[in-house]
Amino acid sequence: MRIAVLADTHSPRFWKGCPPAVARALEGVDLVLHAGDVCRAETLDELAALAPVRVVLGNNDGPDVAAWGAPEVLELTLAGVAVAMLHDSGPARGRGARLRRRFPHADLVVFGHSHVPWDEVHEGQRAFNPGSPTDKRRQPHRTMGELVLEDGEVRSSRVLVLD
């Protein structure tokens, strides 16, 4: 299962339609995970025209995103992999241990909020932040993520540079 991972799109301020590099990266994906701060439900509609979407609420998301079906935390199983998703995982220091305590059964935790790409494994649990495809803040590049899940394992995880 090939999954595109997005977070912190912040539309319409930064996302004024699906950027071409994002659209190319979404070609052929089985699912889009969005880790919050979508900011407009129309962005989710745009993504859903390309692939199924699962999303969580970010601190800048309003009732329209909640009405689209975004909970604060999402736990699901994809290709046999236990996945948890939330927007804000807290500070980088102690993140792995904190996520392991909060989601003891998750193999993979997807998060956003910081706009900083992150891909680390702590005690067998992968924590993955795709960064932002639109608002790089102090990062050198705009980014998103790609995961391949298969037979109960994260086969690959990578941060894609979009600019």
**Domains in the chain: boundaries:** 2-161
Query: What is the mean pLDDT of the segment spanning 62-71?
Result: 97
pTM of the model: 0.96
Mark residue 77 as left, alpha or beta (left: phi above 0; alpha: psi -120 to 50; beta: remaining): beta
Top-level class of domain 2-161: alpha beta
Mean residue pLDDT across the chain: 96
pLDDT > 90: what percent of the chain?
Answer: 93
pLDDT of residue 13: 87
> Which residues are within 8 A (CB) of 160 and not within 5 positions of it... i.e. 6 or more apart?
25, 143, 144, 145, 146
**The tokens of 42 are what?**
């129309």
